[in-house]
Chain A
Amino acid sequence: MQTTNDVTFGVTDPIFEIRNASVTFDMERGTSRVMDSVDMNIQRGEILGVVGESGSGKSMFASALLDAIPDPGQLSGEITFRPESGEEIELLQQSESEIKQIRWEEIAMVFQGAMSSFNPTMTIGDHFEETLDVHGYDVDDGMERGRDLLSELYLEPEQVLHSYPHELSGGMQQRALLAMSLLLDPEVLVMDEPTAALDLLMQRSIIELIRKIGQQRDLTIVFITHDLPLVANLADRLGVLYAFEFVEVGPANDVLTGSKHPYTRALLNSTPNLHTPREEMRPIEGKSPDPVSVPDGCTYHPRCPMSDDNCVAADPPFQAGSGATDHQAKCHYIDDVNEAVPLNLREVHNE
């Protein structure tokens, strides 16, 4: 093993510092480790895209940022939140009431399926007022801000505020939820598959709105999805999750065009895409690991075309290889990846 590696990933002003964060569930057939010693830094004001397949632990990462792991899950490690003003906060040391205050006011969240986030018997306006009231904000001022937000999201404020959730289309619900999450002017917005149930056209439209709103409000956005192409053009940096830990982190452009981890490359090559020749698309061989029995060494070795004894013996640390240090991957053979697992999109870039 190498010495302790640098896991700041070139982040200079971290709003979040996550060290050694793990989530475990005790199950009959053993302990299920659904987040495994994750280290991550999130830069203030950036859009971080977190990409992983089903069962890679990406929703756990979202919940961890809010200290909202569902029972009986156990979250351990250190998560430091540094708000713009005020002192840094150790999230895992806070009492339940303190955490409740931080949620929504400082760190807001939007999950997949707006319908389940709204109470079906209350209008959107009632939800807005309740949110302001519970957190002790001035309701009139807050509603004014709410109307502006709705307009920015191409919604008719009065109409939407008087509607019940079921009276709105899926895309409108999701945008109303986005407006509500920004009502208390948070610093961080965590989104877990916020557009997954929507049409592609609506997904793309919402992504553009998120980008615009993020810029205007200096928001830090963590966007979690299984859909790599969706965040490809949105995120400043990308983190790729595999088997409950990050395996690659770096600037979005570098990750997409010069991935350092063979898994990221396989993921890119398996994605249906109008710009990739059909005959070059390849599914990823094998299956994602079970959280109860994660493979030894590098967790990707059973599926990796490059793996050898070394990969079975030792879990590779984050390293940059011969490239830039803000782009790192957990692989023993970073500098050989390019040749061993070529990227389909390569040709497009060289043109």
Chain B
Amino acid sequence: MSSDEHVVSLQDIEVHFETDTGIFGRDSDIVKAVDGVSLDIEENDVVALVGESGCGKTTLGKTAIGVQRPTEGQVEYRGQDIWEARDSSGSSSIPFKQIRQSLQIIHQDPGASLNPNKTVMHTLSVPLRATQPQMTTFDRRERIHEMLSRVGMEPPEAYSKRYPHQLSGGEKQRVALIRALLMNPDLILADEAVSALDVSLRIDMMDLMLELQDQFNTSYLFISHNLSNASYVAGEADGRIGIMYLGELVELGPVDEIVKNPKHPYTKALMWAAPSLDPNADADPSSPLRTIDVPDPRNPPSGCRFHTRCPEAREACKNDVPGELAVDGHTDHTVTCFREDDHHDYWHSPELDEVSTDEADTAASD
């Protein structure tokens, strides 16, 4: 379980939130944002989590870097339980402060994560002061200029004097990346870090992240709703992709396995949605999903949570919860779908009715 090789190890993580519904808060519902996920992140690893809004990918990411306390399960940093370190106030083998420094984040909206009243120089001095308090002002300035040049913000002397509003979206994101890297982290959570950028700038940003990964020896947990971006960044680094749906990790494997041999019907739906520039490649324009909208996470479907949208769903999927199965005997590629089990009742159970939901009912009436 607790291995020192893992930078971060997540064991059976559950993060449940209580929400009040209705104006008077008469019902409190539990949202199972993350429900029983285990994941290990190694050194120099890249793991991309892909899923729709509300699938729990951000919550899981925040749990991995120790800013979200799980309601169940364990998060370990190099073998040290993060929340135990936090609660024991200093008696742990790795102090909580050091753990938090080692686990950094870049947000989706770089504009909101930079202080609008501080120059680039000021913003970037903060992490250097924290990690290397003995550094002289001159050295610090040199270091920041060097980093700005590295990410292509030339001339660095001019850029370092600018305020966030004087930077483009891509430049702000670069500053956020440098700020995270200057903490010398072991893991950076990149939460939709390129989604707000123009399509044409995304590759550039991802290339930069990977280039700096080599130099800084850091791992990335990359979160995206876009399978193309995820497969690019994780593929270049020989990493893995995890597909999340309503709080569960439904498929996990090496990038090429996921892209070339997707097993979960949901992964296939995400593949369908991934942009294709080839006008002939997409012969099938109709959505493979039974319904467009994600079910209410406060009241997730029974059995396999995907069954209400799954094109392959059968009666068995309504009742039984699929467990994790290795794909073709490869333990590094796992999927939670009955279709991978040749002997499951699924194969003998009747298919779900074509029209099974309210939305589909109304749609069929026109």
Contacts and interface: CB of A to CB of B under 8 A. Distances in A.
Interface of A: 53-54, 148, 151-152, 154-157, 169-172, 199-205, 208, 211, 226-230, 232-233, 252-253, 256-257, 266-268, 270-276, 278, 281-284, 345, 348-349
Residue from A201, A204, A228 with most neighbouring chain B CB atoms (10 Å): A201
Given A199-B53, A200-B226, A272 B202 contact: yes
B139 interface: no
B271 interface: yes
28 contacts: A54-B198, A151-B362, A152-B366, A154-B291, A155-B359, A169-B293, A200-B275, A201-B225, A202-B52, A202-B292, A203-B273, A204-B272, A205-B287, A228-B275, A229-B276, A256-B278, A267-B200, A270-B199, A271-B203, A273-B228, A273-B274, A273-B275, A276-B277, A283-B204, A283-B207, A345-B277, A345-B278, A349-B280
B299 interface: no
Contacts of B199: 226-229, 267, 270-272
Nearest to A344: B277
A345 B282 CA distance: 14
B18 to A, nearest CB: 19
B359 A348 contact: no
Contacts of A349: 278, 280
B235 interface: yes
Given A53-B200, A270-B199, 7 more contacts: A154-B291, A172-B293, A253-B279, A256-B278, A267-B200, A273-B274, A283-B207
Nearest to A228: B199
Nearest to A157: B362
B198 A171 contact: no
Contacts of B198: 53-54, 226
B259 A274 contact: yes
A170 B232 CA distance: 26
Contact of B277 (A151, A202, A266, A275): A275
Contacts of A272: 199, 202-203, 206, 226, 228-229, 231-232, 275
A200 B289 CA distance: 13
B117 interface: no
Contacts of B274: 200, 273-274
A106 B115 CA distance: 44
Contacts, number: 150
B285 A54 contact: no
A148 B200 contact: no
Contacts of B232: 272, 278, 281
Interface in B175-203: 198-203
B326 interface: no
A301 B342 CA distance: 60
Nearest to A233: B282
B269 interface: yes
A299 to B, nearest CB: 16
B275 A205 contact: no
B310 to A, nearest CB: 13
B270 interface: yes
A27 to B, nearest CB: 15
Interface string B259-274: 1000000000111111
B277 A232 contact: yes
Nearest to A254: B279
Contacts of A199: 52-53, 225
Instruction: Kindly name the residue among A230, A267, A274 whose own CB sees the greatest number of chain B CB atoms within 10 A.
Output: A274
B169 interface: yes
Contacts of B280: 349
B270 A256 contact: no
A205 B292 contact: yes
Interface in B314-366: 358-360, 362-363, 365-366
B200 A270 contact: yes
B286 interface: yes
A90 B187 CA distance: 59
A216 to B, nearest CB: 10
Interface string B137-179: 0000000000000000000000000000000110000000000
Given A155-B359, A283-B200, A348 B52 contact: no
Which of B277, B287, B366 neighbours the largest number of chain A CB atoms within 10 Å of its CB? B277
